[in-house]
Structures are given as C-alpha cells and as structure tokens.
A = this chain, B = another copy of it.
Amino acid sequence: MSSTPPGFELPLRLFLAFRVLIDELHAELGRQGHPDIRPMHGFVMQAIGPDGTTAVDLGRTLGVTKQAAGKTVEALERIGYVERTRDPADTRRKIVRLTPYGMDALARSAAIFDDLRARWAAELGEDRLRALEADLRKMTPANLWRLDIPGWFGAP
C-alpha cells in the first residue's frame, strides 16, 4: 500500500538520471583520450553530424541563436574537434566539419552510451528499460535536438 510519491520527485529523478549518464560518459571519455570535452560539446557534435553543417543551421537545430552556435563552434575549433572551411559554392557560408579527432570523440561517445544503456538494461532488465524509453518517448517532443541547454534555464 505505498502512497504515491510527491510530484516533484519525478522531474528531479529525471534530471539526476540524465546527469548520472552524462557524468559517466565524460568520465569514460576522459579515460579514452578526450579529457577536455564538455557535456555541451558532445551534444553539439552529435548535432553537427558526419556531414557537417553551418553555424546558422546548427543554431536552428539546437534552438539557439546563430551567434551562440557560432561561439560554441569557435570553442570546439580551439580544442581541435571541428574545423571550418568556406563553401566554394556560396562564399558566405562556412561549413563546420568534425575533424578526425572529433569523429573519434563522437564514435566513442556513441559506444559509451550504448554501453551505459546496456548497464541499465542489466540492472533493470531489458523489458523494463524498453518500457521506460517508450514512456519517455510518449511524453516528450519528437525532436531530440531542441535542447537549448542551458539557456532555457536562465531564460526570462
């Protein structure tokens, strides 16, 4: 006869679970030769994808301004994860592409996330985890990338 938990526990647990996964990802990424990568960077590189993009497009994907996207790309460029080249077909545009180092980080991230998911499956059971994922999918918007982290948090 357990009573229903207070409503505020759910969002907190969701956030904590997210945080636990991200922290573990970055601890492991650090061990695998990517100590300087930050939580944001992984998402941004995922959003850039293997084919490259532009600052404006990246901003659209992530739900932030082109200036914000540009700044992040700059930071990523400084630490060697992306490079920008002018688009010969439209010299206004600069194509942002992952470097081999960036590709490596992205591939490792994917592998580590799969591994973390497998650990959750081992702990909870694959069926329970699938149910959890299905439920979350049901309650969240389709577009995975509109994170606007962490801007929304301080937004007016």
**A interface, CB within 8 angstroms of B:** 2, 4-23, 25, 38-40, 46, 109-110, 112-118, 120-121, 123-124, 126, 128-133, 135-141, 144, 147, 149-150, 152-156
- Whether B153 lies near A40 (C-beta < 8 A) is yes
**With A110-B8, A116-B7 given, is the CB distance from A17 to B133 under 8 Å?**
no
Q: A7 contacts which chain B residues (CB < 8 A)?
A: 110, 112-118
Minimum C-beta distance from A22 to chain B (A): 6
In the assembly, what is the distance between CA of A139 and CA of B121, in Å?
A: 11
Question: Is there contact, CB below 8 Å, between B120 and A13?
Answer: no
Which partner residue on chain B sits nearest A21 by CB separation? B11
Which residue on B lies nearest to A126, using beta carbons? B4
- Taking a contact as CB atoms under 8 Å apart, the answer to whether A137 and B13 are in contact is yes
- Contact with A135, one of B5, B9, B128 (Cβ below 8 angstroms): B128
A115 to B5, CA, bound (A): 12
Given A13-B144, A15-B15, A131-B131, 5 more A-B residue pairs with CB atoms under 8 Å apart are: A7-B113, A10-B133, A12-B147, A38-B156, A39-B153
Query: Could you give 12 example pairs across A and B, Cβ below 8 Å?
Result: A7-B110, A7-B114, A8-B46, A8-B109, A11-B17, A13-B140, A16-B136, A16-B147, A17-B136, A17-B139, A123-B138, A128-B135
Contact of A113 among B10, B133, B136 (CB under 8 A): B10
Contacts of A144 in B (CB 8 A): 9, 12-13, 16
